[in-house]
Structure 1
Amino acid sequence: MRTMLGLLLAVTMLAAPAMAQPPEGWVTSWAASVQGPYPVGNPSAQPDQRFLFPDPAQGARDQTLRLVVKPSYWGRQARLRFSNAFGTKPLVLDGVHLGLQLGGAAVVPGSNQPLRFGGKEGVTIPPGGMAWSDPVALPFVPEGQGGLLQGRKLAVSLHVAGESGPMTWHAKALQTSYGTAPGGGAHGHEEGEASFPFSTASWFFLDALDMTAPAGTPVVVAFGDSITDGTASTMNGDDRWPDVLQRRLFERFGNRVAVVNAGIGGNQVAGPAEYGPEKPFPGGPSAGARLERDVLSLSGVSTFIWLEGTNDFSRNGNASVEAVQAAMRDGVARMRAKFPGARLIGATVTSALGSTSPAHGFEEQDRKRQALNAFISQGGLFDAVAEFDQATLDAASGGLKAEMVPESTTGGPGDRLHPNRAGYLAMGMSLDLGAVVPGLR
């Protein structure tokens, strides 16, 4: 079983002689925008969570979670960010490990690395807070050949000591992760899967993964709602439109660009007006309220693609076009202030006309959507436009193209709101790579 890691290390030893390397820094390789507290949110294909988390008020209780994530860029060192943003009591984590996923809850033998926090084994994160781990070396990433691991996934194991209380989470992972029974203790150091009988389709407490990379490595952030988060795409299939974009960039440029998904299912640009542990909302905080944590605080952001507005115009949002435009202007101004050289791309909002969702599909919503799209395309706010509406629209019906409607996760008929795998593929393929990462050769 140790041959896989041995082969990777052998590739490292056979690499070309060392030459002067450009300066390195941190880039965000994966992220998950947090919301909460659990179970408020919009997960997809969620297994029954009663055995993993019997009491949401207690949250995780002396148990280990093994969260599976897929880096978009591979470097030789990593660090992780843990969040208690929507917790109401201190979150105590220890026994944190990072390893290469073998399959299921098992990690590749020899790859599991312990993480420290200021040199200590554990960390206590106050309510509303977050904490970065110390950097950890990844010996299974070959020197200068991180692309060999493209498509592989990491298993991040963390032990919640005591009771977490209300849990900060990302509901719609569309990725299976694993957990021990409550009271099961610390098992993050284990390589096997025997201690992890329960599964979840969400991520908990973990919201960012950084890798070391040459200075100037581009980081593309996809920001939006469920159509960025990936509703109706394939469970464990990694076929959201940001995933398609990432693979295209890797095919063109190799292991030189990171793509981060900052979508939250149900998210709005301008609402809700209030959000917090005592007043949650399934769609998470408004775009403006979460921009600092989910985008501005990430490492190395160079491109920002914003696809959002459908939920503002739903019966849940009831926002005016003017309110959404004003919130977008404010978000773009904050982006330009923090990242003056960043490329800002506005994406046209896809149609929900005829949706079977009670909150969507009516004509007024579509008129507002079209007005927002005209603003995005012609308002001069963005540096470029991603024509997602054009890529998915059936001109005859005014809704999504028929082949983009059936649900890819459950096999259901679809809701005529969320594109399926075929729709996300068309969206990802429609992007001009030169507009996304201008100047990269």
Structure 2
Amino acid sequence: MRLALALLLAMSAALPAAAQNAATAWATSWAASVQGPYPAGNPSAQPDQRFAFPEPARGARDQTLRLVLRPSLWSREMRLRFSNALGTQPLVLDGVHVGLQLGGAALVPGSNQPVRFGGRAAITIPPGESAWSDAVALPFVPEAEAGQMQGRKLAVSLHVAGESGPMTWHAKALQTSYATPPGAGSLGHDEGEAGFPFSTTSWFFLDAIDMRATAGTPVVLCFGDSITDGTASTLNGDDRWPDVLARRLFARHGNRVAVVNAGIGGNQVAGPAEYAPQKPAPGGPSASQRLERDVLSLSGITTVIWLEGINDFSRNGNASVETVQAAMREAVGRMRAGLPGLRVIGATLTSALGNEGQAHGFREQDEKRRALNAFIREGGLFDGVIDFDAATLDPSTGGLRAEMVPDSTIGGPGDRLHPNRAGYLAMGHAIDLSAILPGLR
């Protein structure tokens, strides 16, 4: 009788936990689409990397990287994905920790948590592969209201054991992270900053973070090129247009929606035809080539906003409008097949007319841009349209509005291709929130 009663009580106690687990799922809270290998890419405001990575072919060497990032959704449990997608040799990581940034490379005392992989402190990731960590508890997140953490930044520390070889990275983080000197060993456990003298405005190896959330939590993925990645926005200011969108959604819905950025500076819809560690391009693999890694394999994606095509029409891309339209149709079809119920929102391309560089700003490019915009608005491919062109265009010149041109990252006149902070703010506020998440109240 006592045994039966004990079993009944144990089963009763387990029911709430089981019900809770059944009602939760992983949701992507942060992402950084990978490219490479380093240094192939388009970083912004990058410090001299010679001291951190003296020989790019050898990569990181027995050193610790402390990567700083801002989740868009918070909970008390997370997991991390590490990528060796563009590596050419096995990547060995150990001493991985995650803590709350205090400032610079320093962490809030007591916040640093060890990260495990199948219960072990180290993992070997083969070339071309990625790996998820075990779940990590975050005791510093308030149990009652995780949304109180909105705007705070995590610091993910990882030790590269031996030599990494060519490094998979995301060039344009527009966020300062930190590194020890080569040969410094494993310092991820150290919550201080003295061991991290070098800085970088790129992210290495880490490409996604999930938070444990209520099942069905909406995740909006912003897919595109440098204008989604945030070129000419404020360094460490978190004022790309996806950031503006995330803050607007948080103001309306609280800690119930995630917005993640899958932009790569220089990216194209249809090109390049080939992309590999031995044949990289600064803009990363084409949208079609990276679709599985950067959209379909991420957790809980419910809406994709796609802004891309201006680089296809540059002198580097030289694509026809028909080629880009066909590639868009194929990619949207794959997204909908892979993620049933997904909403795919098309965004019109902003103007590059008057760009000072060799590759952009010429009349033929603008004619193609306007033709693609007509397709996005009227072609029936997308579930909705965001008119970024209308939000940023100066009708008198055909280019960006004058106040949206000066560079917000490093100062200077701007390039008339990338909107600045004022431009991204206008773009973020041009989005109809009910159109991207029509069922959320």
Please indicate, yes or no, whether the TM-score normalized by the shorter chain is above 0.5: yes
Deviation, structure 1 residue 437: 1.1
Q: Which residue of 2 aligns with 1:7?
A: none
Q: Which residue of 1 aligns with 2:179?
A: 179
Question: 1:57-109 deviations in whole A, cap 9, x for unaligned?
Answer: 11000000000010000011000000000001100000000001111001111
1:165 aligns with 2:165: yes
1:10-409 aligned within 5 A: 21=20, 23-409=23-409
Question: 1:316-375 deviations in whole A, cap 9, x for unaligned?
Answer: 000000000000001100111011211110000000001112100000000000000000
Q: Distance in 2 between matches of 1:346 and 1:405?
A: 24
Number of aligned residues: 424
The Cα RMSD (Å) is 1.1
Deviation, structure 1 residue 436: 1.3
Where 1:426 maps in the other structure, the secondary structure is: helix
Where 1:68 maps in the other structure, the secondary structure is: strand
Where 2:376 maps in the other structure, the secondary structure is: helix
Sequence identity of aligned pairs in percent? 78
Question: 1:293-313 deviations in whole A, cap 9, x for unaligned?
Answer: 001000000000000000000
Where 2:159 maps in the other structure, the secondary structure is: strand
Deviation, structure 1 residue 314: 0.1
Where 2:333 maps in the other structure, the secondary structure is: helix
Deviation, structure 1 residue 141: 1.1
Aligned residue identity for 2:313: F
Runs of 5+ in structure 2 lacking a partner?
A: 1-16
Q: Distance in 2 between matches of 1:323 and 1:296?
A: 23
Where 2:288 maps in the other structure, the secondary structure is: helix
Aligned residue identity for 1:121: A
Aligned residue identity for 1:271: G
Deviation, structure 1 residue 144: 4.0
Aligned residue identity for 1:326: A
Q: Distance in 2 between matches of 1:297 and 1:343?
A: 16
Question: 1:111-166 deviations in whole A, cap 9, x for unaligned?
Answer: 10000001110000001011100001111111241110000000000000000000
Higher deviation after alignment, 320-329 or 141-150: 141-150
Q: Distance in 2 between matches of 1:331 and 1:108?
A: 43
Q: Distance in 2 between matches of 1:438 and 1:52?
A: 47
Q: Distance in 2 between matches of 1:130 and 1:31?
A: 14
Where 1:260 maps in the other structure, the secondary structure is: strand
Q: Distance in 1 between matches of 2:150 and 2:98?
A: 17
Q: Distance in 2 between matches of 1:167 and 1:194?
A: 25
The structure that has the greater radius of gyration is 2
Where 2:277 maps in the other structure, the secondary structure is: coil
Q: Distance in 2 between matches of 1:89 and 1:360?
A: 37
Q: Distance in 1 between matches of 2:432 and 2:122?
A: 44
Q: Which residue of 2 aligns with 1:436?
A: 436
Question: 1:222-275 deviations in whole A, cap 9, x for unaligned?
Answer: 000000000000000000000000000000000000000000000000000000
Aligned residue identity for 1:69: L
Aligned residue identity for 1:355: N
Q: Distance in 1 between matches of 2:382 and 2:118?
A: 40
Q: Distance in 2 between matches of 1:67 and 1:255?
A: 23
Question: 1:204-229 deviations in whole A, cap 9, x for unaligned?
Answer: 00000000000010000000000000
Q: Distance in 1 between matches of 2:93 and 2:340?
A: 36
Aligned residue identity for 2:335: M
Question: 1:38-72 deviations in whole A, cap 9, x for unaligned?
Answer: 00100000000000000001100000000001000
